[in-house]
Structure 1
Amino acid sequence: MKFSQWIGFFILAFCVYLLWKIRQLLLLLFTAVIIANFLNHGVQLLQKLRIKRSYAVLLSMVFLLTIVCGFFWLIIPPFAQQLPQLLKLVPLGLEQLIITIKDFILRLDPELINALPNSQQMIQQLQPLIEKIAGQGLSVFYTTLGIPLTFLLLFALTLMLLANPRAYRQGFIRLFPSFYRKKIDYVLTECDRSLQGGLTTILFQMVMISLLSFIGLSMLRMPLTLAQAMLAGILTFIPNLGPLLSLIPPVAIALLENPWQSITVFILYVTFYIIISIIESKLLTPLFIENKQSMLPAVTLLSQVFFASLFGVLGFFLALPLALVSQVWLKEVLVKDILDQWQKKGTQLNQ
């Protein structure tokens, strides 16, 4: 390698090291980009109604703040009151579930029961991993800036990106060589479409799961209905694992009430997910989502593990948008522009 190539290599290695050290702040910036990108579609709709962009941005931010304030004013207080009781009842229900499973296994094979770990052993094995992931993901909040300043920074970044997204987009594109900037612009457009489709779908599922859970659990006269419904909706944001985790609180509490009621709750939630999946695939996707990017379940699961180990708990919750964006970049840059071209060059050499 020439001296100039070595210099370029060391500069690239230093940039990668620097990005790694500030990865939590980059994740915060990525979150602001997602929110601004989502709001920008609303701004564009308002602009089609001949409203100036500055006023459209202001209306979008007011709308977002209204939703957030209304959520914290109407939903959070009763949810906060029910959450401590929920956290007490769920472990009791899980203990009852473990006892039921052990009784069932004991009837099948008494020797197999000794090989199963108890709840304390499982907690001891998972505790170091959970503490590591939580510490990595939340360090930016309680060490770098603090929670209030972090949310204030997130709001400011979102507003700045939303006010003039084209300038920031062009600035990012100019970081690449001139011959590749057109392709980067196309990749960013595909990322926008992928995020719009994925986030619209997941938000629809969250709202529907929360609403249907509240109605279904109220009909069954389950305790802590609001807290369970809200928790189920929040966990739905996590692909694959979220729907499974959202089943645990209602089934565990129903098991304390009546074993048959837990089966009813399980069937109820499975029915919810089937109905929502049908509505989403047959109605929502054809009407509102173009070029939806689908991901294989195994790829989604591996991306959750990867981003959780890399960014901590925030990476785990943001695994879906991170995976959607990464999928587009890998497909367009790595596969099409490197691997596919590599194959063509190898074929030419063999000829």
Structure 2
Amino acid sequence: MQKQKDPPTTSSSNFSFQKKVWTTAAIFAFLIIMLLLINATFNVLLLILAGSLIAVFFRALSSIIQRKTKWKEGICVAISIISTLLIVAALFWLIGAKVQVQIIELMDTLPKTIDKAKAWVNESSMGQKIYDQIFSEKSIDKAQLFLPGFFQSTFGVLGDVYVVLFIGIFFTISPQTYTKGFVQIIPLQGQQKAQQVLDTLGEQLRKWLKGKLFSMLVVFILTAIGLAIIGMPLWLVLALLAGLISFIPNFGPLLALIPAVLVALMQSPQTALLVAGLYILIQFIESNFITTVIQKKLINMPPALILIAQLFMGALTGAWGLVLATPVMLIIIVLVQELYIKNRNKDPEPSPAKE
């Protein structure tokens, strides 16, 4: 007579269930730790991105020099870094004194201009309501809570500039060291794809930065010419401010418009209207012609998507997030295209079922 087999115990299934629970808990814990780490260090990552953009500029300039002169790469890189720093220093030295005088005049002018604008606004009941709403105690309290966090920096303003500049120089001198090091931590089967993604990112960032610098130069020249024709005081510093702040899409032109209109109000309301019209015209030209030409050479970045990224990153990380929202969005789009969309399109379509 055969012995009956013992019923299977549940110990193995319990162990398997516990293992799944602990594995799931470990994955969630890892994700939470990574999110907390990214949240705590995101400003540092933005500084690294800013340094990378500077390195992209230096490398692009050195490649142009090397293409024209056929000199060694190291010599061209050194020329690109040193010449850029010397040109920036020379510009500050040549126009620094004049700009400094105009900035002092601007600081002296703004309080009087604000008082004059306040009196001008208070002449109408609608203007009075708008002024009361903007400068109400509740609005001021909200601004006092928001602005310190928005304009705070990771290491202080000079510290941030120092970190960004030297990261850019180090990345410029030996980019292969950092890219190869990053690729080496990727599993072997994915290293070729990782290198391809890095190359695509570098190419897209180089094209975007070249177009953005050209756009900033055009905005500066047009603003300087327009303000000089109108006869605006402080035209040089206002044009420089407009050119530099145009690096920030959407919000940059508005930020540049405010001091220009306040200074123009010291002349007359008509001058203020002329200045506002000039800035709007330049923004129209930049958005509809210059940016359109630049975007043809780049991947498609919807303007609404850039605006949403600026709102989120500006609220979470402050000024650095607002400034670098566009390259961050560019990086995200490239990663999605290279790692997901292209792989999805390569997947073979399922064959029809046989009857």
Q: Same fold (TM over 0.5)?
A: yes
- Whether 1:185 aligns to 2:204 is no
Query: TM-score of the superposition, structure 2-length normalised?
Result: 0.79
* Deviation of 1:54 (Å): 0.9
Candidates 226, 229, 232, aligned match of 2:239? 229
Task: Check conservation: 1:197, 1:290, Cα contact below 8 A.
Answer: no
Whether 2:269 is the aligned partner of 1:252: answer: no
Q: Is the 8 A contact 2:204 2:298 kept in 1?
A: yes
Q: 1:59 aligns with which of 52, 74, 79?
A: 79
**CA positional deviation for 1:297:** 2.3
Residues 251 and 266 of structure 1 are in contact (CA less than 8 Å); yes or no, is this contact kept in structure 2?
A: yes
Q: Does 1:119 align with 2:125?
A: no
Count of aligned residue pairs for this structure pair: 332
> For residues 8 and 44 of structure 1, what CA distance do their matches in structure 2 show?
45
Tell me if structure 2 keeps the 8 A contact 1:235–1:242: yes
Summarize the alignment of residues 1-351 of structure 1 with structure 2, pairs less than 5 Å apart.
14-48=33-67, 49-90=69-110, 92-94=112-114, 96-97=116-117, 100=120, 103-104=123-124, 106=126, 113=129, 117-121=133-137, 122-135=139-152, 138-141=153-156, 147=158, 150-277=160-287, 280=290, 285=294, 291-333=297-339, 337=343, 340=344
Taking the aligned partners of 2:219 and 2:131, their CA distance within structure 1 comes to 37
- The 3 A distance-change label for structure 1 pair 76 and 300 is farther
Partners of 1:25 and 1:140 within 8 A in 2: no
Give the 3 Å change call, closer, same or farther, for CA 89–293 of structure 1 in structure 2: farther
Secondary structure of the residue aligned to 2:154 is helix
Which has the greater radius of gyration? 2
Distance 1:305 1:240 in 2: 11
The one-letter code of the counterpart of 1:31 is: A
For structure 2, the 5+ residue unaligned runs are: 1-18
CA distance in structure 1 between the aligned counterparts of 2:41 and 2:126, rounded to whole angstroms? 52
Unaligned 5+ segments in structure 1 are none
Residues 24 and 140, structure 1, Cα contact 8 Å, conserved in 2: no
Partner of 2:5: none
Q: CA RMSD in A?
A: 3.4
**Structure with greater contact order relative to length (CA < 8 Å, sep ≥ 6):** 1
Residues 114, 260 of structure 1: alpha-carbon distance in 2 compared, 3 angstrom cutoff: closer
Please give the per-residue CA displacement for 1:243-286, whole angstroms capped at 9, x wherever unaligned.
1221112222222311111121122222223334465257x64x
Q: Is the 8 A contact 1:210 1:229 kept in 2?
A: yes
Structure 1 residues 91 and 291: CA distance shift in structure 2, 3 A: same
Cα deviations by residue, 1:203-251 (Å, 9 ceiling, x for unpaired):
2222222222222212222121122112111221111011122111222
Change (3 A) 1:324 1:96: farther
